[in-house]
Structure 1
Amino acid sequence: MRGVLFDGKAAAVVDDLSVRDPGPGEVLVRVAAAGLCHSDLSVIDGTIPFPVPVVLGHEGAGVVEKTGAGVAHVVPGDHVALSTLASCGTCDWCGKGMPTMCRQAIGRPGKPFLRAGGEPVYNFASASVFAELTVVKAVQAVRIDKDVPLASAALIGCGVLTGVGAVLNRARVAIGETVAVIGCGGIGLNVIQGAVLAGAGRIVAVDVAAEKEALARRFGATDFVSSTAAVRELLPLGVDHAFECVGRTSLIREAVDLLDRHGQAVLLGVPAADAEASFRVSDLYLDKSILGCRYGSSRPQYDVARYAGLYRQGRLKLDELITETHPLADFDKAVQATGSGRLARAVLTF
């Protein structure tokens, strides 16, 4: 079967992949669509260190092909959106309802379930959805209604869970509060619409690309500016919440500097693994906070279904996140378009 394999030097579409049958507690999924996220590109450019060779892709949706023993919540033929969170369900963090903190689901490539040319290859983010078939833990497969387009549903599994979840689950933005969103890519747009769902009073989108304004406003931004200095002109006292969605240490500092008293800076962008950021310690004494946020502090079986339901109600935008679609064979074109910074999301179709 076909898929995208990164060998440490280049990522390319190959046709000699194979996948094993699902074991107990696992699901075999025929992938229909997969979003191309910057995290995939970060593996290719070395920002995210990862063992190779690896089949990339972590934002996908498809149709259940086969289930392993003990799986009862999905059956063959079900449409599913996939999460990357292969949590164990039994540790103290899972027991606390915080599966994103599960030690079994953080930074581990997992046991290989794919082969290339007969040799085992690593899976990325416990998903490897840049392949026609993939195997996931049952907890990662969330059944969705069949009237939700799979290309749109694919984006729930990373961009929506991360952006909307950061607002609702981590920052817990309250009605009427002010929000600044630094970076209006796929994550930033989902932060914006998460802030709308939370009832934020003012949502200021920040991006140097002027062409992003129409899209940011479409997702609910009340204002659009090209710099954080301009945010200060609009809101001289600062903001209640600043979300850094780019992954640049200088912007992390600017996010902290934007805060009003009791404000929160939420870090969503991914800089290099050894990157360090600075801030004035005295700035935090007025109850300000810097919050890390992994995967939107999500509980995928609950949140994926919730977001799919909001989409069906017309309250959550998914279709609008897709800027371009490409067949898997045109992976290189999708990478070039994503790297240009002009897209919300490119989606690969199978």
Structure 2
Amino acid sequence: MSQAAPIDPLLAGSVIVTGTHYSATTLVGALLATAPEFHLLHEPLNPQPTLSYDSLRPPQWYAFYGEDHFERLQRGLIPMLRRRAIVPELLRRASRVRSGKEFGQVARYAQRRLPMLIAPRPAILKDPFLAFTARTLQQCAGTKVVLCLRHPGGFAESMVRKAGQFDFNDLVDQPALMEQLPDEAETIRHFAREPQPPLAQAALLWRVVYGFAERQLLPDKRTAMVRQEDFMGTREVTARRLLAFAGGSESPRLGRFLRRNFRTDAPSGNGTSYIRRDPQLATTQWRSALSAEEVRVVRDMTEPLAARLGYSAESWPH
């Protein structure tokens, strides 16, 4: 029997920031990356990465690497955390450039990689698509997890407006993941066979991701949860709580980050930034964007779990 590979210390010291997409993982990841102890690693499990970052390019969204695939997962992540020849990679990416936008992505890749080459450190693994695999990294490598949570109504409104729909075949095509979701498996297969309205898809995806997190991640003391609402009136307290959990220290960058990105004049919803926002508007605008019937659809599908995660009946429009 082959001996298990040792745990890479940079991976063990890293912190995963995950949740659903549109749950403020980009914001929280960038906030934690203000700590000098970390670099930021962007979406290593995104199946369709741009030229601006590295990815394992799994075939499905929300790919699940179980503990039996941990060594393969670690082998894929280590080169993203440690030194490697950057010039050949930049040339390879530059050869694929077909537009000014893609040229900017290659420049962004160099900007992201150079600090990691100069001084390798643990990373903030910002990736909503690590929502299921986070448990494997936590169990096998001891990696901490920050779970970003957004009200199901807010998530559903954003997903329908920005993505349109979710193909549940991405989950069905992963038998090992479906085994981890026994209570939802039948519904997931139904949504895959007969696609439902986008709002129902969003509600089910929220329920599946956070139902898994409730069972598999939140009972572990190496998991911290942050709700988008926590940034409304207590952003400094919330930021310091998250930094303390991650093991990062507060630097002057944190104050600048909070002042720059939490502003009442910041665009929210239709803006281009996933970081800069009006925290009050970001957490309430879905109430006016969704009709009463649309809210009812989401509420009927998510309310019991939402209540257990801190969203009481008062958090829904009346």
TM-score (norm 2): 0.27
Higher helix proportion: 2
Q: Answer 1 or 2: higher relative contact order, Cα 8 Å, separation at least 6.
A: 2
